[in-house]
Chain A
């Protein structure tokens, strides 16, 4: 086949996808200029007044925005930390189990919540933590008066962090279980002959064996510092807990889509997007320098 015709084929194959990407990814990027305007829908992008950095200055003066950044980072950081610790510990424990049927059954069950949407799981979480729910029933048997968990600014963040870990720990453990099967069994045999007990084998063989993958996964999760999990918060929060639970994404949704302050919402979205892009690029750089992997 002629060389240039082959090139033509490749271009033709790229074409439909690139058109779609152009319309739904690149065209919206031009919408970012709204962040530098006082955008009024009736006037459109070309006739709205330019205000340069005023929207950004405004963001940094309103107390709301400081709070949503703090909320986002605390919730995201909590999820990131538990998102490493629980899956790793679970994988290590599961790896100790030799009964195949038991192991398979456990895996089938713990992977399941990952595939259910937050819309569905939110109803479950609402019920469990509700005023008449099982947790409060348990507390009352210890003579502790019932707590409005989902309406309490003290409890909202911990519940978000815990329930996210509950949904994702099983699925998150897959990658570590795969890494564990990759450890050379010869090492364990040699250690046993040398008289190393179970604990020593864990410390000296298993953990060093999966440490690289733990480091990689940690680095890869760093860019999520501004992603506190829109779907979960959106389905679980309410005005009572805006103070502790409102995050950047939910705020952008309310300001932009419900209050129709397009410029303000776009400006906040832009700040998040820029920081996110820088973090992803940095994390990728880190991963490629200390391992043979890349994030994309």
Chain B
């Protein structure tokens, strides 16, 4: 009886491990294929011979993209954008979340501000009117068009606001007795207490800025000013299947395909994310669980 029972559990375990392994490989293999392609010879890649290991290992693609000035220019634009954009995001999130975390007795206008913020979260004018505003302000083709329209992340404001509310009131009162003004209280009491939440928001902003390609398409018309993801979007759009309507065209198209080059560019665009991924992984769970807010 005992033996039989143990064996049955064993089979269930095998099935569970198997399903999870399959799902995990489904996530991993396509990405490994991109990496492998970038290190393979052009011929092997176009022939579709590359699996998850490079075929005819070569660094050709990387040598070539080293000379691609636009790629590195876009890379630098994206780096600057991440730094500027994330700093501005954090500044706005902190300065807005703090007064909003006070109750109506402590901050009389809290209710009105909150209504405005929630309205901005629920409702938007849409793509076209926003484009016209950015245009009228003369921001087109500048890095500010990528940063300012999304500078106030309302969702993050609410996340941090809820986190601030969980900081014990007694700490704030003690600091006030010592004569601290609200900015000092925020600096010395609230910010140190909300480090995990701030780290989460910071990381999400970094990823958001790095991955955004659409602001670039909307607001930047000079290719030289493209951020990296918009640049990648441009080159992979040339990969467009709409131009391939029959097999002959497809074969023709594959001959001139630059799959290895594109793969190398994609790898370069993902490397910064992989570098911060371990830190990211440490924090995003907290962010997500805090995100499903309890009032």
Interface residues of A (CB under 8 A from B): 1, 5-7, 9-11, 13-14, 16-18, 20-21, 23-32, 34, 90, 93-94, 96-97, 102, 105-106, 108-113, 115-117, 119-120, 122-124, 126-128, 130-134, 137, 148, 150-151, 166, 169-170, 174-175, 178, 198, 213, 216, 230-231, 234-235, 238-240, 252-253, 256-257, 262, 265-266, 269-270, 272-274, 276-277, 280-281, 288, 292-296
In the complex, are the beta carbons of A124 and B30 less than 8 A apart?
yes
Which residue in B27, B137, B240 is a CB contact (below 8 Å) of A112?
Answer: B27
Which residue in A124, A256, A276 is a CB contact (below 8 Å) of B128?
Answer: A256
In the complex, are the beta carbons of A26 and B120 less than 8 A apart?
yes
In the complex, are the beta carbons of A31 and B158 less than 8 A apart?
no
Which residues does chain B contribute within 8 Å of A231, judged by CB atoms?
A: 213-214
Which residue in A9, A102, A257 is a CB contact (below 8 Å) of B183?
Answer: A9
In the complex, whether B48 has a CB less than 8 A from a CB of chain A is: yes
Count of interface residues, chain B, beta-carbon cutoff 8 Å: 102
The 5 closest A-B pairs by CB, nearest first: A31-B129, A28-B125, A269-B126, A238-B242, A117-B211
Interface stretch (choices B11-19, B54-62, B68-76, B194-202):
B11-19
In the complex, are the beta carbons of B176 and A1 less than 8 A apart?
yes
- A274 to B235: give the CA distance in the assembly, Å: 36
In the complex, are the beta carbons of B270 and A293 less than 8 A apart?
no
In the complex, are the beta carbons of B280 and A29 less than 8 A apart?
no
A-B contact pairs, 9 of them (CB 8 A): A25-B124, A27-B125, A116-B31, A120-B270, A126-B239, A166-B26, A256-B128, A262-B128, A296-B293
Interface stretch (choices B79-87, B95-103, B163-171):
B95-103
Interface residues of B (CB under 8 A from A): 9, 12-13, 16-17, 19-20, 23-24, 26-28, 30-31, 33-34, 48, 91-92, 95-96, 98-100, 102, 106-109, 113, 116-118, 120-134, 137, 148-152, 154-155, 157-158, 176, 179-183, 207, 210-214, 218, 229, 232-233, 236, 239-242, 244-245, 247, 250, 254, 259, 262-263, 266, 269-270, 273, 277, 280-281, 284-285, 288-289, 292-295
State whether A32 and B129 are in contact (beta carbons under 8 Å apart), knowing that A1-B179, A120-B266, A277-B123 are contacts in the complex. Answer: yes
- A278 to B168: give the CA distance in the assembly, Å: 36
Which residues does chain A contribute within 8 Å of B151, judged by CB atoms?
A: 20, 24
In the complex, are the beta carbons of A34 and B34 less than 8 A apart?
no
In the complex, are the beta carbons of A31 and B133 less than 8 A apart?
yes
- A286 to B226: give the CA distance in the assembly, Å: 43
State whether A29 and B129 are in contact (beta carbons under 8 Å apart), knowing that A122-B236, A175-B289 are contacts in the complex. Answer: yes
In the complex, are the beta carbons of A34 and B236 less than 8 A apart?
no
Which residues does chain A contribute within 8 Å of B123, judged by CB atoms?
A: 29, 273-274, 277
Q: Looking across the interface, which residue of chain A has its beta carbon closest to that of B88?
A: A20
Chain A: minimal CB distance from B89 (Å) = 10
In the complex, are the beta carbons of B294 and A109 less than 8 A apart?
no
- A263 to B38: give the CA distance in the assembly, Å: 45
Q: Looking across the interface, which residue of chain A has its beta carbon closest to that of B137?
A: A23
Chain B: minimal CB distance from A37 (Å) = 12
- A276 to B9: give the CA distance in the assembly, Å: 47
- A134 to B26: give the CA distance in the assembly, Å: 13
- A277 to B148: give the CA distance in the assembly, Å: 24
